[in-house]
């Protein structure tokens, strides 16, 4: 099919677009949509939650308005790559590390990010150590993949320290976290303090409805005098306070 141009998506026809994307089968032909100002299309699977994530990123513009364009981005729970591509185009970030555990989502991530050499894709789940994981369940669609530790699993689990080491990161300019409850493990006290010191801005959706204590663990780590907080949709974003220049 011919690509849909984002400029043609209006309040009047959004419901029809969603209904069309929800229909059919996930293995039907992909739907190409070209975001406004972009050269290459992004692809949406039918009968999945892809269209909702696309609209969240490109219509609701959840990541717009950053004061300092991030030189690097770590995207935990990269799903099918819409956030990664947004940062590649909107902010011209030099390095974007996209980590996604679900194999089917990961294939879409590779497809959507193929034109962008600054996006590095990793088929893994973020955890507090290197281990093996497996998919536990999916809640609310393909963007709700929950993983669990499983020595017989087929998904690699990696830690933030692994990411930092593998990519030589002295600082993480923007850390996006949407990992369906794994944040409780990620923010485990006594393990996360070293890498969290490197984070300038963290943008996280917590999932207490899946795993109790996620929000508390997140706030214990970042809700302090070093960071300023703003609430954006269902996420809390903490930005490191820069020293004042006299």
Instruction: Tell me the per-residue pLDDT of 151-166, one tens digit each, with 9 for 90 and over.
Output: 999 999 999 999 999 9
**Which ranges in the chain are annotated with CATH 3.40.50.150?**
62-240
Res 246 pLDDT > 60: no
- Look at residues 33, 40, 74 and name the one whose alpha carbon lies nearest to residue 57: 33
pLDDT digits (tens, 9 = 90+) for 110-125: 999 999 999 999 999 9
Rg of the chain in Å (alpha carbons): 18
Res 184 pLDDT > 70: yes
The whole-angstrom separation of Cα 214 and Cα 211 is 6
| Its pTM surpasses 0.85 | yes
* Domain 62-240 coded CATH 3.30.2290.10: no
pLDDT digits (tens, 9 = 90+) for 127-151: 999 999 999 999 999 999 999 999 9
Lowest pLDDT segment from 45-49, 55-59, 63-67, 240-244: 240-244
């Amino acid at each position: 099919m011919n690509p849909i141009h984002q400029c043609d998506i209006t309040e009047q026809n959004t419901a029809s677009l969603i209904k069309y994307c929800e229909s059919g089968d996930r293995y039907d032909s992909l739907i190409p949509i070209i975001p406004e100002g972009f050269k290459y299309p992004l692809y949406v699977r039918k009968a999945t939650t892809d269209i909702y994530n696309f609209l969240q990123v490109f219509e609701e513009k959840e990541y717009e308005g950053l004061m300092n364009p991030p030189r690097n981005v770590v995207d935990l729970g990269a799903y099918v790559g819409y956030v990664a591509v947004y940062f590649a185009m909107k902010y011209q970030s030099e390095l974007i590390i996209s980590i996604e555990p679900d194999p089917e989502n990961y294939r879409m991530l590779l497809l959507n990010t193929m034109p962008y050499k600054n996006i590095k894709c990793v088929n893994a789940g973020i955890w507090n150590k290197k281990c093996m994981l497996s998919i536990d369940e999916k809640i609310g669609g393909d963007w709700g993949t929950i993983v669990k530790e499983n020595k017989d699993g087929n998904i690699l689990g990696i830690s933030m320290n692994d990411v930092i080491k593998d990519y030589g990161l002295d600082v993480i300019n923007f850390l996006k976290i949407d990992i369906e409850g794994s944040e409780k493990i990620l923010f485990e006290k006594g393990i996360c303090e070293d890498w969290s010191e490197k984070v300038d801005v963290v943008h996280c959706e917590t999932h207490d409805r899946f795993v109790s204590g996620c929000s508390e663990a997140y706030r214990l780590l970042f809700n302090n005098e070093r960071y300023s907080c703003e609430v954006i949709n269902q996420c809390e974003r903490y930005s490191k306070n820069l020293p004042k220049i006299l």
